[in-house]
Structures are given as structure tokens and as C-alpha cells.
Amino acid sequence: MSEMMKLQLLHVSCAHCGQDSTVSVMPDGVHGQFVLRSETSLDEAFLDAVHDPTFDEVDTLLNQSPRMLGKDNWFRAHVLQRTYGEIACDPDSTGHAFRIGKLPNCPHCGRAVLNWKAISPPQFVDREIPPATHKVWEHLSALQKEFRVDDVLERQGF
Ligand SMILES: [Zn+2]
């Protein structure tokens, strides 16, 4: 079931194709709710981190990881945001990992480099976004989950 979200509009002008367009992102000040995106598609997935148990599960495993020894809370929260999508969410339609905090790609050419312009006063739009799914993650054993967390941390350079 898709979630209806109120998102904020941003103007973008694309450095690759030169076209102007409008994209929508999670408004400032919203906590615990994220729209995940990948590097390679226009797919989006909604995450309610407060109610989705996999978010706490990954957080706990991260905090137990030897790679996080001696790291402060800010750093751990940063690592959780950077790695959660790849660790616990099924990939997008192109097989690439979703990531929290990834801004939308250009709607015209699908590439990532964009110049942003805030719209003033702010404008909002209601969007229906499918929830992030965790089919792969949910089929892993506890030990496999630990390995997966470690693999993703290593791959992302943590
Ligand atoms: Zn473009």
C-alpha cells in the first residue's frame, strides 16, 4: 500500500541536459520519515523509521559492530542513514540500492547533477510513494544480518 505524503517542491536546472523542472522532497523539520532514492533511477521508496522495525534492528547491529567502536552518536547516526537502505531495503527497479538522503535525479535525463533553487514562498504537493520493502533482509538469519551489515560498512568505507 502506498503512503500519501506531503512533499516540498524545489526548482532544479540540470547541468547535463539543460532542462528546468520541479522535483519534490521531504520538507525540512520532518523527523523519522524519509524518501529513499537510488543513484540510477527515478524510483522512490517511503520509510517511516519510527514504525518500521528494521530501522531499529539495523541501528542495533551497527552499534554492535566493531567498526563503530569509539565512534560518537553523531557519526553512528550518519553511518546509519548512509547504509540503512543498502543493508535492509530491497533494491530499486534497476537493482541499485536505495539510500536515505539521496536527492531526486533530473526527471528529464535521469542523471544526478542538479542545481537547486528554493521556491519562495514554499510550495507543497501530495505524492503517493510506495513503502520500502525488506524481502531480502527478512529472509536472512541473525548471523547473515550481521555479515550483511559488515559487508555494507566495508563497501561504503566505514
Ligand atoms: Zn537532466
pLDDT tens digits, the chain, 158 residues: what are they? 677 889 999 999 998 999 999 999 999 888 899 999 999 999 999 999 999 999 999 999 999 999 999 999 999 999 999 999 999 999 999 999 999 989 899 999 998 877 888 888 999 999 999 999 999 999 999 999 999 999 999 999 99
pTM passes above 0.85: yes
Burial class of residue 111 in the structure, from the number of CB atoms within 10 Å of its CB (0-12 exposed, 13-18 middle, 19+ buried): middle
CA of 146 to the centre of ligand 1 (A): 39
**33 phi and psi, to 5 degrees?**
-125, 135
153 C-alpha to center of ligand 1: Å?
A: 31
The H helix count followed by the E strand count for the chain is 4, 7
